[in-house]
Amino acid sequence: MRFKHAKVRTLDGHAYPGRPVRIEIDGEDVAVDTIVEHWKEAYVDSSFYPQEYYRVQASDRRSYVLRYSTLFKSWWISEGRVIS
């Protein structure tokens, strides 16, 4: 799965980075309708920085995987698949 850098707005909560609510995709602002799945990577080696993932359905009728890099404190997005 390929990821590209993304701008993601989050709903502030008790857990960082927060729940994604909007995504900027190619200059277009898209709302996150549903968070389908949320998970974190875990490593035995503590020198690795874990990544945090969200599988979301957006208002443009596409499904995306968002990845938050805890090392770089930045969001990344996979190419969206059309939801039928």
- Nearest-angstrom CA–CA distance, 68 and 6: 10
Dihedral angle at the C-alpha atoms of 53, 59, 80, 56, nearest 10 degrees?
20
Whether the predicted pLDDT of 72 surpasses 90: no
pLDDT tens, 35-53? Answer: 999 998 877 777 778 889 9
* CB within 8 Å of 60: residues ≥ 6 apart: 25, 28, 30, 80
What is the reported pTM?
0.86
Q: pLDDT band for 81, please (50, 70, 90 cuts).
A: confident
Domain boundaries, the chain: 3-74
- Nearest-angstrom CA–CA distance, 67 and 39: 10
- Nearest-angstrom CA–CA distance, 2 and 39: 18
